Amino acid sequence: MTKTNSGNFFEDFRIGQEIRHATPRTVTEGDMALYTALYGSRFAFNSSAEFARDCGMPGQPLDDLAAFHVVFGKTVPDVSLNAVANLGYAGGSFGAPVYAGDTITTTSQVIGLKENSNKQTGVVYVRSTGVNQKGEMVVDYIRWVMVKKRDVNAAAPAELVPDLPDAVAASDLIIPPGLNTGKYDDVLAGSPHRWDDYAVGEKIDHVDGMTIEEAEHMMATRLWQNTAKVHFNQHTEGQGRFGRRLIYGGHIISLARALSFNGLGNAFKIAAINGGRHVNPTFAGDTIYAWSEVLEKFEIPGRSTLGALRLRLVALKNRSGADFTLKLEDGKSFDPAVVLDFDYTVLMPRR
């Protein structure tokens, strides 16, 4: 009997199946430093313990997306080792902020399954949840992924396509206990623009571009203990579909979020991931740009000093965001320069 993990194939999943993922992870200040080195993030809330304490937190929390990546990475060996494509995200919530010393443990529940008509693959929907050592949810999201069948003749598991939320409702956003932006300092935060200053439909070109190196995306992806082979092995990928190592989609989300500081500097915390698609692959040598669109503005129930913005964050490769490039003229297909179409909700201080 082989002792190596061959991962799950489509026919191995069952609706309602609970998966406890391996390798719990204690997050440290080392992870925070690497996150800064890899993405150049400048949100004061994550950069400065003093700034975070002035916002009512016990210290600087780990970047929300780093928590997401830790949880995502743990699901790979069980959920997507035999994936053909990572299709989307929905219904993602951030709960308890993560501090250095916290240990994140991850589980997933299979919430949907649908075989594809070619019988060679199927779509697996999972809700993945990371909890800290106190059992508090830190991040919780749905993703769906196209997974190969081991045996095309195998019977498909019972089918269920879940209803996916279009977006996380304002009333469902989790505000960390103690969070208070009463002493929030716009100058230290790096932006004079507060929630009140953004309008639905407003688009922001984040101006700057960042070129990705192989060493960077591989270090990031290993840091999250994500084992997807396509990111690491040039010997096989050189013979594969692209002839290149493929960059982990989450790396692009983090780069685009860091670039978005320039224009959204007060979007200090991510509260929800409403949706997201990696619409084209990215490779080392590509330069990532980003632009955002304000999709909705939410008041936060019971909070007069804090608001939420639902944002579209679009990442482009080798093309400036100045034109707000998204779809081709047909209005359906994505422009080949677009690599990420991400829909998320941020918290921002109000005046």
Q: Which of residues 288-317 bind its own copies (CB under 8 A)?
A: none
Residue 198 or 298: the one with the smaller Cβ distance to its own copies is 198
Residue 5 or 333: the one with the smaller Cβ distance to its own copies is 5
Select from 204, 270, 273, 313 the one that contacts its own copies (CB under 8 A).
Answer: 204
Look at phi and psi of residue 317 and say left if phi exceeds 0, alpha if psi is from -120 to 50, else beta: beta
Which of 245, 262, 243 has its CA nearest to residue 313? 262
Residue 156 or 218: the one with the smaller Cβ distance to its own copies is 218
Select from 150, 193, 277, 350 the one that contacts its own copies (CB under 8 A).
Answer: 193
Which of 241, 251, 263 has its CA nearest to residue 219? 251
Residue 99 or 144: the one with the smaller Cβ distance to its own copies is 99
Select from 17, 109, 225, 280 the one that contacts its own copies (CB under 8 A).
Answer: 225
Neighbouring-strand partners of residue 312: 293, 343
Rg (alpha carbons) of the chain, rounded to whole number: 20
Q: Does 216 bind its own copies (CB under 8 A)?
A: yes
Distance in Å, CB of 153 to its own copies, minimum: 25
Q: Give the C-alpha separation, 48 to 257, whole Å.
A: 18
Distance in Å, CB of 41 to its own copies, minimum: 8
**Can you tell me which residue has the tokens 């997974």?**
147
Distance in Å, CB of 99 to its own copies, minimum: 12
Q: Does 181 bind its own copies (CB under 8 A)?
A: no
Q: Give the C-alpha separation, 229 to 83, whole Å.
A: 11
Distance in Å, CB of 331 to its own copies, minimum: 27
**In this structure, are residues 214 and 248 in contact, taking their beta carbons and an 8 Å threshold?**
no
Residue 25 or 310: the one with the smaller Cβ distance to its own copies is 25
Going by the DSSP 8-state scheme, the letter that residue 111 receives in this structure is E
Q: Does 333 bind its own copies (CB under 8 A)?
A: no
Site for its own copies in 257-286 (CB under 8 A): 262-265, 285
Site for its own copies in 25-84 (CB under 8 A): 25-26, 28-34, 36-40, 42-44, 47-51, 60, 77
Select from 79, 90, 145, 189 the one that contacts its own copies (CB under 8 A).
Answer: 189
Q: Does 17 bind its own copies (CB under 8 A)?
A: no
Binding-site size for its own copies (CB under 8 A) equals 79
Distance in Å, CB of 47 to its own copies, minimum: 5
Q: Give the C-alpha separation, 188 to 311, whole Å.
A: 23
The total of other beta-carbon atoms located within 10 Å of residue 250's CB is 24
Select from 227, 254, 274, 282 the one that contacts its own copies (CB under 8 A).
Answer: 227
Q: Give the C-alpha separation, 267 to 290, whole Å.
A: 15
Q: Give the C-alpha separation, 5 to 139, whole Å.
A: 26
How would you classify the pairing of strands 83-94 and 18-20? unpaired
Residue 214 or 335: the one with the smaller Cβ distance to its own copies is 214
Q: Does 211 bind its own copies (CB under 8 A)?
A: yes
Distance in Å, CB of 220 to its own copies, minimum: 7
| 14 class by beta-carbon count within 10 Å (0-12 exposed, 13-18 middle, 19+ buried) | exposed
**Amino acid sitting at position 346:** V
Residue 164 or 283: the one with the smaller Cβ distance to its own copies is 283
Select from 16, 23, 136, 333 the one that contacts its own copies (CB under 8 A).
Answer: 23
Kindly indicate which of the ranges 91-99, 150-158, 256-264, 342-350 contains the residues binding its own copies, using the contact rule CB under 8 A. 256-264
Q: Does 115 bind its own copies (CB under 8 A)?
A: no
**In this structure, are residues 249 and 277 in contact, taking their beta carbons and an 8 Å threshold?**
no
How would you classify the pairing of strands 103-115 and 18-20? antiparallel
Residues 6+ apart with CB under 8 A from 256: 206, 288, 290, 313, 314, 315, 340, 342
